[in-house]
Each structure stands twice: as structure tokens, then as C-alpha cells.
Structure 1
């Protein structure tokens, strides 16, 4: 959910502002990214907000690793599950801060927009799906549903990048609403899974049990929460007011 492409994307800073400073920074970044010489040109091209976005992505990646560590370890030791879930609110914090820093420094770019969307996909799409797999949603149909959830997040973010300029904005250039639920709202599912873990409702005791056990259609009905949430993210008619 990029907030860093200026008034043309999500109510952030315009590429052309007072004194043309944002435009100058943007052009400098383009030159550095297109450079074929120079050491660490990519690192020098990133703005401070971009590095904060990288921390968002890092939280998602570390959450995935923690989920994998749980799957490889003792199922009765839930510490890695808690760690996997704990990384995700930090991802939201960095997702919030990158936009604030970009507006404060009056620097935004297409690079930042793409980084923001990719980091959000990892932290609020892939990582929650991995936690869900870890706690017991492991049947073939579960996998299809979780994959659909992640793909809905991917599609929602891509649509946002393309259509953000067409969303009505206020006098300050801030978009008035989101089309579909923003992908960070998956933290609601994360909180629900954290409660299940705390109540030891995981693996063979997942709430709702399993339907069609032993057949090719074996599925945990709670996975439908992810499917519904994915559909809400991709909704065109659902307009969520921006805070």
C-alpha cells in the first residue's frame, strides 16, 4: 500500500514541490539507478524512506523464517510461532513510518512505490499465509486457498499502483479512500491466529476442525477467512475511508 509517490499516488509528496526539491531528488535517483559505473550506486540511490520500507520487508521475511523454524522443530514449543506473529506489527510500524519520513523529507519516487508494495506483499500477504500453514492449515485445498489469498494481495497492490492517481483527493492531495481493504488489515487475521496459538488451538485442534477428512477435498473451514479477506482486498466497490 504505497504512500510515497506523491499526490499522484496516495496523498504523499508531489514530485514537484517547493523549490522543485522533490523533482531534483527524483531525477538524481533515476540517474543513479541508470548508472553503469560507480560503487554502491543502488544503495546511494535509495532515500531514507526506502530503507525504512526495507525494514518492513525484513520483518515479513523474518516472520516467514520463524514459521519455517516452527515447522522444523518441536510442535509443542510455540515460541517461534509467537516470534513469527510478533514481527508483523513491526512491519506495519515501518509501513507507516516510511510514508511519514518521505513527506517530512519531501522525497518520493517510483522506486519507493514499488519497494513499498513488494514489502507489503511479504509482510501482510506471504508471512500470514506461512503462519497459517504452520498452525495446521496444511491440506491441498488449504494450500490453494492460502495461495489465492496471497495472489489477491498481490493483485490489490498492483491495482493500487496503477489506479491511485484516479482516486479523488482532498485539497492537500490525500486520497479520500482505499479501493478494497488495505492489505495491512490482515493483521486482524494475525491477531486471531495469535489467540488460537495462545489457546493451543493449532495443528489437530484448529478451530472448526476439518471437513471431508481423508478425501482429496479435505479442508479446514477457517481457511475461508483468508479467502473472504482476499476478496475484500480486491473489491472495486468497497471504499474504505482513509484515516
Structure 2
């Protein structure tokens, strides 16, 4: 019976991600974000349960990757698509556009622009495929894990909804900022730099000091900065990994 517990948690991750897809497609980005975070919660504990119960299996590994592709691959791509829609005036003022002179009108060009956000889905798929065939990534990651990248992207609608800062909102809803973030996201997912993994074999402080420091400071950031803390935490994660790499050398 216990061998099915990790797979059940993985399927709950997939279920949460599937609900998030439906919500995101229907422009309910905030609710989609919360279901994604729920899926990432299940994703965190399925591997931990498999290790503690000593029931790791090839089926579980494949199921985990497939579930991540939905929750941490498809959903952030759709959310970026929707954010790019919001950032483009053409979607609200169809008569205000002028021709570019290249055979396409600005309207046609800008209506295609949101599809650029789906590069995040492609970058996530490539990153997961590399992870599946890489035997080195047991205690660390190469590149930003898809759940961390998803938290970065899904944090944007939460900042828009709850932070109530017009200056920050204007940055987030700038199409060039979103395009730049999409490109950066794809790079972070597939860069070769080692990042420490939040995988606990046990809960003792010894051997998990870096993880505990990161989690405690992340909690402090959330209390002080609220939802703006989300991109700060991702940046902090990368910086701590750089420090960890330097000290280990």
C-alpha cells in the first residue's frame, strides 16, 4: 500500500496543474497561481515520501516529470500569454493601429505577440527532458528547476492583484519587460550553473544548513515584502547557489 503514496501525491500535483490550466485559460490567473502552488507542494513531498518509504521507482520518476510538464511547464506559458495580452493596447483598441510597412499591420503583429510567452513551456519541456537523462542531478540542479521558474512567473499576477502599486504594475504590464522575462526564464531553466536542491533526506540541521537558511530568509522576505518577495526569493536562491558553489570549490 505504501508504494502508492508517492504516486498519489504526484497525481495530486497533476490534478492541481490541470485545474490551473483551465483557470488560466479563462483569465482567472490568481486562482490558477494558488492551484499551481498547491501542485508544487505535492511535487515537493512526493519525492520526500518516496525516499522516506524507500519506494522510489522508474514509474514514479516518469510520472513526476509528466506532472511537472503540466503544472510547471504548460501553466506558466499560458499565464505569460495572458499577461502579454493584457500588456498590448491592440487587444482593447483595434482601430488605433497603423501599418508597419512590412506587409503586416501592427495589429496583426501584436495579436501574435502573446504566443511568445509559450516559449516558457518549450524551455520547460527541454529542461525536464535534459533532467530525465542526466544522472548527475541528485543533490543539485543544473539550471533553475521548473517549479522555481513557475513560482517566478505565477508571482506576477499575484503582485498585480494584491500589491497595489501602480509603478510596479506598469512595469509588469510592459510588453518589453514580459518579453525580456520570457527570454530570461528560458535561459535560467537551461543554464549549466549548479543550484542547490531543496531535497531533504531528513530534517536534521546538519547537512541541511543551506536549505534551512534559505527557507527561513524566504519566509522573512514574504512577511516584509509580501508578493514582491517572490522574484526576490528566486534571485536570492541563485545568489546562494553561487556562494555555495564558490565555498565548495
Q: TM-score, normalised by structure 1?
A: 0.62
Matches within 5 A, 1:132-143: 132-137=80-85, 139-143=111-115
- Of residues 122-131 and 220-229 in structure 1, the stretch that sits farther from structure 2 once superposed is 220-229
Task: Supply the distance in 1 between the matched residues of 2:158 and 2:6 (Cα, whole angstroms).
Answer: 30
What SS does the corresponding residue of 2:26 show, helix, strand or coil? helix
Look up the match of 1:194.
158
Task: Supply the distance in 2 between the matched residues of 1:161 and 1:209 (Cα, whole angstroms).
Answer: 35
What SS does the corresponding residue of 1:166 show, helix, strand or coil? coil
- After superposition, the Cα gap between the structure-2 partners of 1:137 and 1:82, relative to the gap in structure 1 and judged at 3 Å, is same
Look up the match of 1:130.
78
Task: Supply the distance in 1 between the matched residues of 2:186 and 2:26 (Cα, whole angstroms).
Answer: 26
Counterpart among 116, 119, 122 of residue 148 in structure 1: 119
Look up the match of 2:128.
157
Task: Supply the distance in 1 between the matched residues of 2:114 and 2:156 (Cα, whole angstroms).
Answer: 17
Task: Supply the distance in 2 between the matched residues of 1:198 and 1:91 (Cα, whole angstroms).
Answer: 21
Look up the match of 1:226.
182
Cα-to-partner distance string for 1:170-218 (whole Å, 9 max, x where unaligned): xxxxx3321111111120221133102336799xx763666xxxxxxxx
1:136 CA displacement:
4.0
Whether 2:141 is the aligned partner of 1:178: answer yes
Look up the match of 1:207.
171
Aligned length: 170
CA RMSD of aligned residues (A): 2.5
1:233 CA displacement:
0.8
Cα-to-partner distance string for 1:103-123 (whole Å, 9 max, x where unaligned): 122112111111111111111
Look up the match of 2:11.
54
Whether 2:37 is the aligned partner of 1:66: answer no
Task: Supply the distance in 1 between the matched residues of 2:16 and 2:182 (Cα, whole angstroms).
Answer: 21
What SS does the corresponding residue of 2:195 show, helix, strand or coil? strand
Look up the match of 1:214.
none
Higher helix share: 2
Cα-to-partner distance string for 1:40-80 (whole Å, 9 max, x where unaligned): xxxx9x8221111011111111011112223xxxxxxxxx3
Look up the match of 2:219.
none
Q: Runs of 5+ in structure 1 lacking a partner?
A: 1-43, 71-79, 168-174, 211-218
2:23–2:29: 8 Å Cα contact kept in structure 1? Answer: yes
Over 6 Å off, 4+ runs: none
Counterpart among 68, 72, 87 of residue 120 in structure 1: 68
1:59–1:90: 8 Å Cα contact kept in structure 2? Answer: yes
Q: Runs of 5+ in structure 2 lacking a partner?
A: 87-110, 199-249
Task: Supply the distance in 1 between the matched residues of 2:173 and 2:26 (Cα, whole angstroms).
Answer: 24
